[in-house]
Amino acid sequence: MDTNKLLQTIKDRFSFRPNRNQLQELDRLVFEISRREKLSPEKIIADLPENIRFSRLKNLLIGRRFPLATKQEKISTHGLFLNELPKPLVDNWQPKREFKPLKILVEKEAKQSQLLKNFQNHCSGVEIEEIKLYSDYLKKHKFALNELKKPYIFIVKERWDFLKPCPCTKYHLGCGYWILNLGFGCPYDCSYCFLQHYTNSPGIVLPANLEDFFEQFDKFSQKIKLPIRIGTGEFCDSLALDQIAGYSKMLIPYFQNKNVLFELKTKSTNIKNLLDLRASKNIIISWSLSPEKLAGSEELAAPGLNQRLQAAQKIQAAGYSIGFHFDPIIYSPTWENDYQDLLKSLYQQLKPPLAWISLGTLRSNRRLKTVCEQRFPESNIFYGELLTGEDGKLRYPEFLRQEIYQKMAGWIRQYDSKTPVYLCMENKSLWKTLGEFDSSKKIEKYILSP
Ligand code: SF4
């Protein structure tokens, strides 16, 4: 409903004239209820008693907007994010299923790299521009949000940011995981992806100097107590461009004989290089999975659920360890059936035990919700019962997360009694609900035990 019309409707029907902030909050609540219930804003307002004051009206709308949370607890209005409704972007770049770079921008120091040659071999005729430094280039070129998925490739010499501990999140149990920074950006376009509000550049940044990382890791591994878990899928998809970049051909032989668990995390089906290499137990190829209908509506340009499972099946048969991530788990009225169907498909195709399964419910900071509304105006995932958690992120309330984790873990255990199941970015009491594998150390010990 247009804001002026809403203002007039409120003045006509209720006994107050809202100020600007009040109008924004009511607009947001009515909008989100109308998206959740597939009803017009007019109908939602018509359902309300006449001549009530602002605070009663707001409370009634909050009760309707968060029905499960309202039944369990008094919702603090500080926990609500009732921001102005953003306008959807115009001319938003949509990624294609088959990634083809529009342009390659290569730092001067990476011009002789094998990575650039790999791109030249696979993408003949693509324009290549030499730049001095990626950071300088960004200072001179400002990009708008609608260009985020413009298929630019930046080939850079990574200077200092190769390896770091997983930042996890405030007040939640750390996972003890290490991140190998294998680039930033992704050819897929998931509506919930946190990279969207994290970057000021379009395209994908890829490091050309993996040998420097290997040197750094050799020194690092002498100073710490091994084993550790290390993986590349934090700011990118580990395999989405592997058919071109070929990183796996260097990473897998390097980590194969080290006392670490090395994970490549993906939604892709680019497994050819992996099948050509020797597999080993400490190399874990893991897939992020969502029920088919969510994969279709929220994970644009990524392969569908069955394609991912088929790829996992081939990789398991080749001798690698396999992991899965149900993250984000998205609550909906049909979530139980959707995720049970997904687990059934998984265990029809893969043999337990797996290296691990992680669970994490939808969460985001406030800015991401706004970006998602601008870029994916059809998506409804942020109109679930998300309230501000103690880490400042929007999350489902704890009772709902607990129900989701317990049910998911119970369904997994019906098929598989051994695979470690752990939580991502959750507090200690929720980890405890899952039983024996309540820390990253226990998972490492389990996987690496003979
Ligand atoms: S696959 Fe991962 S990195 Fe790529 S868009 Fe989706 S969430 Fe983001």
**What rounded mean pLDDT belongs to the chain?**
91
Determine which residue's CA is closest to atom 7 belonging to ligand 1. Answer: 193
* 196 CA to centre of ligand 1 in angstroms: 9
Average pLDDT for 57-67: 96
pLDDT band with cut points at 50, 70 and 90 for residue 177: confident
More confident residue, 417 or 163: 417
- For the record, the structure tokens of 446 come out as 């389990």
Percent of the chain with pLDDT strictly greater than 90: 74
Band (449; pLDDT cuts 50, 70, 90): low
Confidence of residue 233 (pLDDT cuts 50, 70, 90): confident
Name the 3-class secondary structure at 363: strand
Whole-number Å distance, alpha carbon 267 to ligand 1 midpoint, is: 8
pLDDT at 2: 83
List the residue whose alpha carbon is closest to atom 6 of ligand 1: 190
305-362, pLDDT tens digit by residue?
Answer: 999 999 999 999 999 999 999 999 999 999 999 999 999 999 999 999 999 999 999 9
- pLDDT value at 441 more than 80: no
Run of H or E residues at 369:
helix 366-375
- What pLDDT was estimated at residue 16? 87
439 pLDDT exceeds 70? Answer: no
CA dihedral of 182, 187, 190, 195, whole degrees rounded to 10: 40
In the predicted structure, residue 226 carries a pLDDT above the cut 90: no
Lowest mean pLDDT among 63-67, 152-156, 171-175, 258-262: 171-175
Model confidence band, residue 282 (pLDDT cutoffs 50, 70, 90): very high
What's the pTM value of the predicted model, to 2 decimals?
Answer: 0.94
What domains sit in the chain, N to C, each tagged with a CATH number?
Answer: 3-79 (no CATH), 103-448 (3.80.30.30)
CA of 311 relative to ligand 1 center, distance in Å: 18
Protein residues whose CB sits closer than 6 Å to any atom of ligand 1:
186, 188-190, 193, 195, 236-237, 267, 302
- CA-based nearest residue to 286, from 331, 238, 322, 316: 322
Residue 187 alpha carbon, nearest atom of ligand 1:
4
pLDDT value for 170: 52
Query: Which position has the higher pLDDT, 107 or 4?
Result: 107
pLDDT score at 386: 96
Q: How far does residue 17's CA lie from ligand 1's centre (Å)?
A: 44
Q: Which helix (H) or strand (E) holds 326?
A: strand 321-329
pLDDT in the model for residue 320: 97
What pLDDT does residue 225 have?
Answer: 80
Please give the Cα distance from 217 to 214 (Å, whole number): 5
pLDDT digits 0-9 by tens, 88-108 = 999 999 999 899 999 999 999
d(CA 390, ligand 1 centre) in Å = 25
* Residue in 424, 423, 444, 425 with CA at minimum distance from that of residue 435: 423
Best residue for ligand 1 mutational test, from 182, 205, 267, 327 (most atoms within 8 Å of Cβ): 267
Contacts of 25 (CB under 8 A, 6+ apart): 58, 82
Kindly give the distance from the C-alpha atom of residue 300 to the centroid of ligand 1, in angstroms, as a whole number.
Answer: 9
CA separation, residue 342 to residues 11, 220, 339, 345, 396 (Å): 49, 39, 5, 5, 21
Q: What pLDDT is stored for residue 240 in this prediction?
A: 97
Tell me, what's the pLDDT at 400?
Answer: 95
Q: Flag whether pLDDT at 169 surpasses 80.
A: no
Q: Whose CA is nearest to atom 2 of ligand 1?
A: 237
